[in-house]
């Protein structure tokens, strides 16, 4: 799209945002122009919490489906819109309620720790939720418990190593982070000697073992902001570079791999944001029964981390 067309779309979005009393959320992995028109840019659960604290009537979630579900769980009285209805999460799709119930039957008494990158129904079937930034604290809050960590095996293995706890892992993963290899990190270090390696724990064990820092998307940004270093190799989705460059002028960032692009996160665009506000659709809803169970698992997490 040309700049003139984008400018008109932005004007329309801003007008509709006021008319509909809407708040626009964008995940760090969204396209740059979508991040730029958002009221809040951040990690998924953090965004839902911020939206719940506003007096907005409408939440436009520029992200993927499970994120909009989380917003609907925390803001049942607000209209939640997902501008691109086909923006899903392959990792979230790797666990469903039927398979989870079967696994729980095989492990009597197990506590299910559910990464927030999962569906509302799966959260509802879990004991407690976690994020990539608080997963260690959540696991430590369950001393002596038999734990099943779902759905991300890579994050689960990272937390198991950090806590020195035996954990049952689900065989799920984020395809974008899973594509990064140890060889990519070693090559990047050779090409950029002295650069710090910052990676997301959704990467494979062989990758985060080579990193100088492992953390959530927000954690990676904060590390770069606070660091005295000037060059960084980044092991997470390429959309983070937009925020990193804004927060860290004068610092240089290199992607660990050219494959760090989530196709689902890139499905949203300004036209779809405008259309969703105009039509108040597509809407994302969660049944009250599922919402009550899912919010229980989320609240337990919040109680532990407050």
Do 58 and 130 belong together in one domain?
A: no
Do 275 and 239 belong together in one domain?
A: no
Do 147 and 126 belong together in one domain?
A: yes
Total domain count for the chain? Answer: 3
Do 161 and 300 belong together in one domain?
A: yes
DSSP conformation letters of the chain: --HHHHHHHHHHHHHHHHHHTEEEEEETTS-HHHHHH-SEEE-HHHHHHHHHTS--SEEEEES-HHHHHHHHHH-TTSEEE-SSTT---TTGGG--HHHHHHHHHHSTT-EEEEESSS-HHHHHTSSEEE-TTTHHHHHHTSTT--EEEESBHHHHHHHHHHHT--EEE-SB--HHHHT--HHHHHHHHHHSTTPEEEE-TTS-HHHHTT-SEE--HHHHHHHHHH-S--EEEEES-TTHHHHHHHHSTT-EEEES-TT---TTGGG--HHHHHHHHHHT-SB----HHHHHHHHHHHHHHHHHH-
Do 166 and 301 belong together in one domain?
A: yes
Do 150 and 210 belong together in one domain?
A: no
Do 203 and 67 belong together in one domain?
A: no
- The CATH number for 115's domain is 3.40.50.10800
Per the prediction, the chain carries an average pLDDT of 97
Q: What is the pLDDT of residues 116-168, one digit of tens each?
A: 999 999 999 999 999 999 999 999 999 999 999 999 999 999 999 999 999 99
- 3 confidence band (pLDDT: 50, 70, 90): confident
The range of the structural domain enclosing residue 58 comes to: 3-88+265-286
pTM surpassing 0.75? yes
What's the pLDDT score for residue 4? 84
pLDDT cut 70: percent of the chain above it: 99
Q: What is the pLDDT of residues 173-223, one digit of tens each?
A: 999 999 999 999 999 999 999 999 999 999 999 999 999 999 999 999 999
Do 84 and 113 belong together in one domain?
A: no
For range 232-260, the mean pLDDT: 97
Look at residue 260 and tell me if it is in a domain: no
Do 76 and 31 belong together in one domain?
A: yes
């Amino acid at each position: 799209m040309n700049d003139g067309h984008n400018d008109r779309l932005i004007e329309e979005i801003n007008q509709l945002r006021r008319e509909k009393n809407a708040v626009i959320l964008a995940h760090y992995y969204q396209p740059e122009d979508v991040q730029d028109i958002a009221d809040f840019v951040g990690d998924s659960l953090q965004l839902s919490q911020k939206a719940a604290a506003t007096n907005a009537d409408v939440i436009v979630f520029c992200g993927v489906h499970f994120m909009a579900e989380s917003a609907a769980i925390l803001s049942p009285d607000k209209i939640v819109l997902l501008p691109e209805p086909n923006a899903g999460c392959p990792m979230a799709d790797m666990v469903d309620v039927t398979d989870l119930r079967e696994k729980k039957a095989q492990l009597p008494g197990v506590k299910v720790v559910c990464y927030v990158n999962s569906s509302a129904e799966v959260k509802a079937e879990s004991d407690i939720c976690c994020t990539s930034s608080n997963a260690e604290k959540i696991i430590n809050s369950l001393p002596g418990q038999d734990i099943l960590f779902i759905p991300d095996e890579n994050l689960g293995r990272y937390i198991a190593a950090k806590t020195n706890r035996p954990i049952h892992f689900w065989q799920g993963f984020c395809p974008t982070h899973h594509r990064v290899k140890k060889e990519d990190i070693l090559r990047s270090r050779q090409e950029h000697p002295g650069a710090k390696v910052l990676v997301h724990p959704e990467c494979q064990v062989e990758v985060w073992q080579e990193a100088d820092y492992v953390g959530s998307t927000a954690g990676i940004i904060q590390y770069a902001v606070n660091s005295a270093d000037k060059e960084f190799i980044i092991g997470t989705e390429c959309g983070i570079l937009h925020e990193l460059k804004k927060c860290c002028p004068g610092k240089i960032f290199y992607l660990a791999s050219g494959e760090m692009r989530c196709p689902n996160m890139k499905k949203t665009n300004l036209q779809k944001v405008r259309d969703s506000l105009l039509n108040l659709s597509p809407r994302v809803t969660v049944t009250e029964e599922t919402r009550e169970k899912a919010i229980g698992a989320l609240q337990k997490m919040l109680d532990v981390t407050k």
